[in-house]
Structure 1
């Protein structure tokens, strides 16, 4: 197990390191105070987990996240003092797997780390894997593989979990709470808004017209329904 911590606070680096050692005694930890170097280390070290601060001395953590997601799907948790809704949603839009605010509770942080890493590894999601096939639609959750209209569509780990949850209950309304439980396994601030971001990304990948979806339908105040209208 390899972890990368990108934070300009040595105390946080030490605390996060101690937390990770609790669950992975043999974890190899690399750290840096600089965002640019952090992005470069993701490429050279190939960590299994990245913990990223947003307030870095050389560049915005959002820009670091964007750079990392341009070439890597590594599980990435934002760890920051910022708790504004705008920052939370933006981080998830750019591809963060979770968002934790400082000061943080150590065991909750570890639960989130486990959840993010488990979602990234094919075949590690909770429950039975889902294989769906109808019309031109083929999905295998064990490998996060989606084929639709004669093309293979790339899904992030969280998008795959979200789609899996909808397909398990195709034809039924899946509540925001149920989707959040599948994605994170714990309460997340502004979960409804964050799930909306993931649903929009899925629609952009599988709907003929994302603004007028026919596959993933919104049920106002409740959640979403997968219709199988292909």
Structure 2
């Protein structure tokens, strides 16, 4: 599935991005306001939505909120270069990643590929492979996870990061490794993306028998999923 929804009111920018994405083998549909974009995103036709923060009628943050209320589809946010507050809020609401504008079509396309690469069924995993760490069970090929037999509602990036941690359970994983393996890109300087996603995961995962979070920060080493 390579259908991309591009939600942005800048028609010139949308045209440039659409042309490049189509040259790279994607099919692109566009929406120029948040209400239309949210409605299209929830139609089930798209592999990913690219969503600008600043739009008329309904801004990108509210559009993301509406999408996340009903869908786990991957969402890549377009933000202003200095809009740290919007960027963090977007991640907290469930955006999978962000690209700061101005950006090149090549950079945008690379980021889309990185997200989709991690959401596709892994050819390296055998059918039915299961990752189990304490009460956590993950089925990577099916993109499903449960805690104590209850389903976890995870965004695509949260699933990616949790899968990396589960495969390395019992030992710390650096933020750079999490970024490269979970987001498909090196960790940028001052990038809080991983921290925000891991904070969200802590709230969604259950606790150990002693009441501690199963997801721990290891000073100067990264994050670790604890075996119980």
Q: Please give the TM-score of this superposition, normalised by the length of structure 1.
A: 0.86
2:16 alignment counterpart: 15
Q: How many residues matched?
A: 223
1:202 alignment counterpart: 201
2:47 alignment counterpart: 48
Which consecutive residues of structure 1, in runs of 5 or more, have no partner in the other structure? none
2:77 alignment counterpart: 78
Does the 8 A contact of 2:79 with 2:87 survive in 1? no
Shift of residue 146, structure 1, vs aligned partner: 2.0
Does the 8 A contact of 1:51 with 1:79 survive in 2? yes
Q: CA separation in 2, counterparts of 1:192 and 1:82?
A: 12
Change (3 A) 1:70 1:169: same
1:140 alignment counterpart: 139
Change (3 A) 1:191 1:174: farther
Shift of residue 194, structure 1, vs aligned partner: 1.9
Does the 8 A contact of 1:78 with 1:98 survive in 2? yes
Q: CA separation in 2, counterparts of 1:192 and 1:9?
A: 26
Q: CA separation in 2, counterparts of 1:191 and 1:133?
A: 33
After superposition, residues 36-115 of structure 1 pair within 5 angstroms as 36-44=35-43, 46-115=45-114
Q: CA separation in 1, counterparts of 2:125 and 2:81?
A: 37
Does the 8 A contact of 2:34 with 2:60 survive in 1? yes
Give the alignment's Cα RMSD to 1 decimal: 2.3
Which consecutive residues of structure 2, in runs of 5 or more, have no partner in the other structure? none
TM-superposition CA deviations, 1:148-174 (whole Å, max 9, x none): 223222322211111111122122111
1:177 alignment counterpart: 176
Change (3 A) 1:77 1:188: farther
